[in-house]
Amino acid sequence: MNTLSEKAHRLTVQRFGKTIQMYAPLYLSNECIDTCLYCGFSMHNKIERQTLTTEQVLEEASVLIEKGFQHLLLVAGEHPKKVSVEYLCDVAKKLRPKIASLHIEVAPFEEESYRKLISAGVDGVVIYQETYNRDVYKTVHIGGPKKDFDQRLASTEAACRAGIRFMGIGFLLGLSDWRQELPKLIEHAGYLMKRYWQTQFSVSLPRLKNCASGFQAPHAVSDEDMEQIIALLRVALPEAGIILSTRETPALRDRLLSRGITHMSAGSKTEPGGYLHPNEAGKQFELSDERTPAQVAEAITKAGYEPVWKDWV
């Protein structure tokens, strides 16, 4: 390990101990009114579309709960009619009593809507800015409400003002030069942390993957870059959680454990209904870590960390 990696490791252990919080994404819907060139759910893609009923969501959740997950992340495309605040509140009210923590990664809402979602049981919101470069943002978001860069940025604060307990931010690795994006993310996180001290923040930098849109990352990021990026993030934001999804390969995920990662998903599916009926609906993107949750937990333990399924700190 070089000096940066050692420092990142030390800071992570000091603040978070040698633990990794486990979570699973649960896709509610792949219907979307936006055209985002890099996403499999983009409106222009010809894929099998589906929005789960509340009952179907509960069935999918049962599979994950049985595997040990107590923290779920509900994911959906942007569709105000199919994935409305009312629908999300209904899902949250029925699901939350069965689990320890419920986050959402869906369309951004107004402050009042976040208040309703929090009352229904949602305790975390994830809103990635995708890129902090306005010109790049404009070229990849070509249709739908997501085109509005400022509105997306402001929605993060709307959730914080509503009193959300956990807030996740980040950008997509590969859309623009990460050396320019990273300082912007750190500045954004620093601003939010100072202003909304009651909220706990996490960051995630999903790397662009193959999907139905066929989009190629204009600024591809190597595995070595990933290791450096995560260590830099940790040193810059010692208090923030750092989340790593199954977009990355098992070998890289295992290596990144000691660079500052605090939360990991496992056994994920990126299509609605994918845990009970895999491959029936279109996926958001391809995954690289196909290990079961138990296998991922074993790898975490082998690396000297404790996989934590329930507590969410």
Number of residues counted as binding ligand SF4 (CB under 6 A)? 9
Closest approach, Cβ 179 to ligand SF4, in A, equals 23
Closest approach, Cβ 30 to ligand SF4, in A, equals 7
Does position 29 interact with ligand SF4 (CB under 6 A)? The reply is no
Does position 241 interact with ligand SF4 (CB under 6 A)? The reply is no
Which of 24, 32, 47, 256 contacts ligand SF4 by CB under 6 A? Answer: 32
Does position 41 interact with ligand SF4 (CB under 6 A)? The reply is yes
Q: CA gyration radius for the chain?
A: 18
Which of 49, 71, 82, 146 contacts ligand SF4 by CB under 6 A? Answer: 146
Does position 31 interact with ligand SF4 (CB under 6 A)? The reply is no
Contact positions with ligand SF4 (CB under 6 A) in 55-114: 77-78
Does position 206 interact with ligand SF4 (CB under 6 A)? The reply is no
Long-range contacts of 275-278 (CB under 8 A, 24+ apart): 275/26, 275/60, 275/63, 275/64, 276/59, 276/60, 276/63
Closest approach, Cβ 190 to ligand SF4, in A, equals 25
Question: What are the backbone dihedrals phi and psi of residue 97, each rounded to the nearest 5 degrees, phi first?
Answer: -60, -15
Q: Which is nearer to ligand SF4, 41 or 132 (CB)?
A: 41
Q: Which residues would be at the binding site for ligand SF4 (CB under 6 A)? A: 32, 34, 36, 39, 41-42, 77-78, 146
